[in-house]
Amino acid sequence: MKRKVVKSLGILMATIILMTGCGVSNNKENATESKMATEDAYEESYEEYGTEEIAEEEMADNGISYEEGATDTETLEEETTSYNQGDRKLIKTIDMELETLEYEKTITYIEKRVTKLGGYVESSSLDGSSIYDDYYGNRYGELKVRIPKEQADEFVKGIDENTNIKRKSESTEDITLSYVDAESHKEALKVEQKRLIAIMKKAETVEEIISLESRLSEVRYEIEKYESKIRTYDNLVDYTTINIYVSEVQEITEAPKITAMERMAEGFTESVNDIIKGMKEFVIGFVSALPYLVVWGIVIGVILIVIRKILKRKRKKKKIEEK
């Protein structure tokens, strides 16, 4: 009796396990079929709506190559070389170190000049005490201003006329390749966005719609990211960045004046140095060529000896003939 009960329980457990396994298998198959259905719907809508032609036309309108086999690097190189020198995306930065006797007046002048030329102060830091206070010290300030690139030279010229520029440096960064890359990605994503919207109109199941909406959200996020990046590039290119360091001083540092005697002494020293340098080069060249000189000396010596012997023989022969 016990054996029958145990046997019956065993059969029941095996049946439950088998049914559970079949249920899991069916769920996996259903998920796979749903995924395949979504992919099939995507491909069918892609073909029916002719989205490849749409993509090709859209990308061609925006100057992006859609030819088969064309790599991203090749496309970027072609688009970058198509930029004229005046159209290249250049970021210009100027650093200026100023000295002034009138600290407040200089700071006010800089701020007004920035506003007048259509720029803005991005950041500023003013610190220190006046040289005229009981506690001696000098005031200094750091300003980072952005000036429209067309007005940058005029701004620097005005600063030079009203303060003493102790040091100035300029640098330029070419971001044309990065700019074209961002534009290409943005336009390609816009084409994909139109494609997804067209496919969604043909979607029939909830799974298809959810899958397409998820991808559409990702594409829109990427488009916004590249648009933000391009706006940042445009701002950096359109506005020259000028870093200004202002120091309050009691006396303006003047460039040292060279007297006539100092100029003559400097010229004499340079001439002596040139002579010494020339002698050194001569000695180095002579020592380097010494092995060649020795070989050629031996060759020339042998030739002279042979010629001398030939001439000596001719003389003896001539004397014999005369006798």
| pTM of this structure | 0.52
Task: Identify whether the C-beta of residue 197 lies closer than 8 Å to the C-beta of residue 216.
Answer: yes
Distance from C-alpha of 206 to C-alpha of 213, rounded to nearest angstrom: 10
Query: Which residues contact residue 196 at a Cβ distance below 8 angstroms, ignoring those fewer than 6 apart?
Result: 212, 215, 216, 219
12 lies in some domain: no
pLDDT in tens, 280-300: 888 888 888 888 888 888 989
Distance from C-alpha of 190 to C-alpha of 216, rounded to nearest angstrom: 10
| Opening angle at CA 127, ends 123 and 133, nearest 5 | 150
212 lies in some domain: yes
275 lies in some domain: no
Task: Identify whether the C-beta of residue 97 lies closer than 8 Å to the C-beta of residue 167.
Answer: yes
Q: Tell me which residue of 229, 224, 199 sits closest to 213, measured CA to CA.
A: 199
Backbone angles phi, psi at 255, to 5 degrees: -65, 135
140 lies in some domain: yes
- What is the SS3 assignment for 51? helix
Residues counted in the chain: 323
200 lies in some domain: yes
> What is each CA distance from 75 to 69, 131, 181, in whole angstroms?
11, 60, 9
Tell me what percent of the residues of the chain surpass a pLDDT of 70.
Answer: 68
The tally of domains found in the chain comes to 1
Tell me what percent of the residues of the chain surpass a pLDDT of 90.
Answer: 34
pLDDT at 188: 94
Parent domain of 200: 34-66+90-253
pLDDT in tens, 145-184: 999 999 999 999 998 888 888 899 999 999 999 999 999 9
Q: Tell me which residue of 115, 227, 108, 92 sits closest to 169, measured CA to CA.
A: 92
**β-bridge pairing 239-248 and 120-127:** unpaired
317 lies in some domain: no
**β-bridge pairing 239-248 and 164-174:** unpaired
176 lies in some domain: yes
81 lies in some domain: no
pLDDT in tens, 213-264: 999 999 999 999 999 999 999 999 999 999 999 988 887 776 555 677 777 8
Contacts 24+ apart (CB under 8 A), 262-271: none
